[in-house]
Amino acid sequence: MRLQRWYSITTKNQWYNRQSHDKYVKLAQKHGYRCRSAYKLFEIQEKFNILRRNDTILDLGASPGGWSQVASKYGNTISVDLLPMEPIDKCQIVTGDIHDEEIIREISQHNVNVVLSDMAHSFTGSRTLDVARMDELVEFAFSIANILLKPGGNFVAKYLQGSGEHGLRSMLENQFHSVSMFKPKACRKESTESYFICRGFKPINNI
């Protein structure tokens, strides 16, 4: 019990220490973004220009809302997450699991230009399980994109490096003009997260 308490104090201290020295945490606080991950989307946007003025954007795994804050600068955004989220201007917030039929029905009313997925589960500690769950989220986000994206639309999805990314990439290449894999500098160095950046949706084999 004492050891557990010591461990949780140590990890909390490490967390505070890391947060207070992190360049992107400081930038987010300074510029009013809810979390440092907003800077991942800024980097993706700067390099790949996936968001355009007046786009309709679906943001999956949106809470606490950093990506939605960035996306809603371009156009109306539908933000879905298991967790609740504080309101954002030009953002429709949908709270629930993306696998839930009611949630799918609600978001299916929209035809969108861009689907973003920064969805991630809490890590379990088992690399095999974490990778499998993450791959499933990428595939599920892609199946949603396949239904809702307008021709020519763009799709961004987080995946874990060292997973089934090459299989996932082949699947995506069938339906987009270009697919890149990109790890923004704002991702933590020790993290294996990275992003598929898929541009130019070709709605051929609708699934």
Ligand X SMILES: C[S@@+](CC[C@H](N)C(=O)[O-])C[C@H]1O[C@@H](n2cnc3c(N)ncnc32)[C@H](O)[C@@H]1O
80 is an interface residue for ligand X by CB under 6 A: yes
Catalytic residue among 23, 90, 158, 189: 158
For 12, residues 6+ apart whose C-beta sits below 8 A from its C-beta are none
What is the contact mask toward ligand X in residues 96 to 115, using x (rule: CB under 6 A)? -xxx----------------
Instruction: Reply yes or no on whether 202 is catalytic.
Output: no
Pairing of strands 193-201, 149-160: antiparallel
Reference 203, options 151, 142, 145; nearest CA is 151
- 7 or 123: whose CB is closer to ligand X? 123
Residue of the chain from 64, 75, 164, 200 that contacts ligand X (CB under 6 A): 64
Tell me the closest approach of the beta carbon of residue 24 to ligand X, in angstroms.
Answer: 11
81 is an interface residue for ligand X by CB under 6 A: yes
CB 111 within 8 A of CB 148: yes
Torsion of CA 66, 67, 72, 76, to 10 degrees: -130
66 is an interface residue for ligand X by CB under 6 A: yes
- 141 or 149: whose CB is closer to ligand X? 141
CB 67 within 8 A of CB 48: no
